[in-house]
Structure formats: structure tokens, C-alpha cells
Amino acid sequence: MRSFTCTCGNQLFFDNSICMRCKRDVGWCPCCRAIVDVTTTDDGGFACACCRTLLVKCENYARHNVCNRFVASRKNEGSQSETSQGMFCDCCRFNRIVPDLKVPGNKEKWYRLEAVKRRTIYGLDRVGLPYGTQADGVVPSLIFDFKGDIIPDRRYRQMGPFQKVYTGHDNGVITINIQEADDVEREKLRVNMHEAQRSLLGHFRHEFGHYIWDVLVKGKREADCIALFGDHNNPSYDIALAAYYKDGPKADWLMTYVSAYASSHPWEDFAETFAVYLDMQSSLDTAAHGKLIQPVNPADLDAMVEAYKNLGIALNEMNRTIGLLDFLPEVFADPIHEKLRFIHQLAGISSPNFKTS
């Protein structure tokens, strides 16, 4: 991720919705594909200070302040009037269920969920991975359900069973248990599950891995995928996951998988490796923009893996220096390198014709 610059000269960051120096509204301009400051127009709308496109705030920005994206106004095409009502940005338009805002704390959780969703989608755009709805020509349609566990409230004798929400993906629908946006709860789960890292961003990248499998691998490149990740039909997903939770990960998982959980089933291996691929692409982009490393060609997988390993060694030592968890816990053994290559070949950026923005 790069940083951006306000007209006043202040540095702006990807999550900003206001410039801390000049107090102007800032946000994502879909035309500039950047965080920009905006000027207010006579009729209460906005114009990008950079490209002058007329903009309105995404409804989730205007009404709830959980988004920082603008949408191109219909007035750019000559329409006389409009409101931002019902106009959602390219990240919010996939939401089907959002957290119940009557519940204290849910607004803050939703804010964090949207922030990492935007960051994940920025990463997909950067490397040319597809997402969208059937109307966009993408199958299956991407849908987000952000849900909390249903806990009957005994004070009001409310009846009904406890309903647990599982974070996961099913035929285009990505469900996130909003408790994952609670740092205490997530860290408890990380320790209980013996995970090296557990982050909200990691969940989004993992679940998008399942989604991309359905879009680009299912019925298209399954044989190639089986050769690297194993046969997802045998054993079945349910049997494999039950065995994983009963017996634990495969003994030699470190030499073949990016995480213990990846050894549970080929679909989980694909999703875990996909998340690492996006981590790698994003980390090298950020490191190059921060002048920590020389820019690495994002279309050259071998150069990327080499640079990421070296960056990881340096940043792991940095993190250990101040007592944080390792930045890069994965070990890139040869089988993992080849799995990353398969995912890289699915991304548009591996094509010589792909244009980065």
C-alpha cells in the first residue's frame, strides 16, 4: 500500500476519511484510484480535488462513516439530481447482512470489517484477480454476510437456541463472525488454535481464496490444482476436517504447507496459500513504497518469493526486537513455492498484457 497526499501537502493514508491538517473530507476517488481530498460543490455534492470528477459519498460513508469511498456522481453523465441514497462503492455493494447497529460495539466492529475488506479488495485489483456479481459477468456472485452469534437474552425471557456463526465461504457467500473484529476474542482463539498469526485481514484473504477457487479453478483447472494441492474430492471435505480436529495436523506439515490448518484439506490449503500470496504481494508493494526495499516486479514470482523471504528475515528480527509476534511465520519450502506459482498464474498480473494502475 502506498500513501497519498492532500492538496494541503499532508500525507494521507488508505483508511483516512478526514485530513488531520486541513480537516477536509478525504476518501477514495474511483477515477484516480487513490485517496484524495474533495471540494464541496454548490449543491452539497463533492468534486475530486485531483481529477475534478463529481462525487458522492458511498452510502456507508455518508450515513455510517464505516467506509471512506466516493462514488462517481450521476451528474457527470448529465443527470440533474441525485442523492447518495442507495449508492454503494465497489466494496460495500456486495454486503447482504451487516451488523445489527442497535447492539453496543457493533458499529466499531463493522468499521474494522469494512476497512480490511477494502484493503483486501485493493490487493485483488492490484494483481488482477476477479470478483463481482453475475451482472458483472462473474460466477458465483460475491456476497458478504457479517453476523454475530445469537445469544438468547435471559433478562427478557427471550426464548430460542444459541446460534453459532461460522466464518467461511459457500458458493460466493463470505460469512464473517463479527466477533473476529474483537481483539480479545480473536487473540483467545489464536492461542487456543495454536496459530502463529490470526488477523481480521487474514480471514478476508483466506475466504477470498475459497471464492477465487470457485471462480477460476472449479470446473476449469481442477486437474492442475489436484496435482499440487491434492484431491479435494477424496477424502471429502467433511471427513477431512473431522479427522483434522480429531488427530491434529499432518506431522510433516511445515515442509509442504504454509500452516498447520492448510494440511486439513486441499481447499483449505489453497485458501491458506492464497492468503500468503496476497500477503506477499501487498507487503512487497508497501515495503517498496516505504523505501525499505527496491521495487520488485509483481509479475515475477521467483523474484517476489526471494525478496519476501529476505524481507521476512529482517522484519521477524525487528518484531522480536520489540517483543511482537513474527511478521512472516511461513517457511517457503519448494512445494509451497510451486503452489504459490499456481495461484500467481491465476492472477492477471502474471500475463504480459496486464496493466497495473
Q: How far is CA 313 from the centre of its chain?
A: 24
Q: Which is nearer to Zn ion, 51 or 242 (CB)?
A: 51
Q: Which is nearer to Zn ion, 84 or 282 (CB)?
A: 84
- By the 10 Å C-beta count (0-12 exposed, 13-18 middle, 19+ buried), 213 is classed as buried
* Residue 210 beta carbon to Zn ion: minimum distance, rounded to whole angstroms: 6
**Burial call 183-193: b when 16+ CB within 10 Å, e when fewer:** eeebeeeeeee
Q: Copy the grid coordinates of residue 238.
A: 467433511
Q: How many whole angstroms separate alpha carbon 70 and alpha carbon 60?
A: 10
Contact of 291 with 2, CB cutoff 8 Å? no
* Placement of cell 490448518 in the chain: 261
For residue 168, the surrounding DSSP H or E stretch is strand 168-170
Alpha helix ranges (H) inside 144-260:
183-192, 200-212, 222-229, 237-247
Q: Which is nearer to Zn ion, 32 or 139 (CB)?
A: 32
* Residue 326 beta carbon to Zn ion: minimum distance, rounded to whole angstroms: 22
* Residue 10 beta carbon to Zn ion: minimum distance, rounded to whole angstroms: 4
Region of residue 268 (left: phi > 0; alpha: psi -120 to 50; beta: else): alpha
Q: Which is nearer to Zn ion, 257 or 304 (CB)?
A: 257
- Geometric angle at alpha carbon 127, from 57 and 318, rounded to 5°: 95
* Residue 49 beta carbon to Zn ion: minimum distance, rounded to whole angstroms: 8
Q: Which is nearer to Zn ion, 88 or 288 (CB)?
A: 88
Q: Which is nearer to Zn ion, 21 or 194 (CB)?
A: 21
* Residue 212 beta carbon to Zn ion: minimum distance, rounded to whole angstroms: 12
Q: Which is nearer to Zn ion, 8 or 333 (CB)?
A: 8
SS3 content of the chain, % helix, strand, coil (to 5): 45, 15, 45
DSSP per-residue codes, 26-83: EEEETTTTEEEEEEE-TTS-EEETTT--EEEE-HHHHTTS---BEEE-GGGGT-----
For residue 277, the surrounding DSSP H or E stretch is helix 266-289
Q: Residue length, the chain?
A: 357
* Residue 67 beta carbon to Zn ion: minimum distance, rounded to whole angstroms: 3
* Residue 134 beta carbon to Zn ion: minimum distance, rounded to whole angstroms: 21
Q: Which is nearer to Zn ion, 33 or 320 (CB)?
A: 33
* Residue 176 beta carbon to Zn ion: minimum distance, rounded to whole angstroms: 12
* Nearest to 115, CA basis, from 11, 13, 3: 13
Q: Which is nearer to Zn ion, 262 or 347 (CB)?
A: 262
- Geometric angle at alpha carbon 120, from 298 and 174, rounded to 5°: 130
* Residue 310 beta carbon to Zn ion: minimum distance, rounded to whole angstroms: 29
Q: Using CB under 5 A, list all residues that contact Zn ion.
A: 6, 8, 10, 19, 21-22, 29, 31-32, 48, 50-51, 58, 60, 67, 69, 89, 92, 268, 271
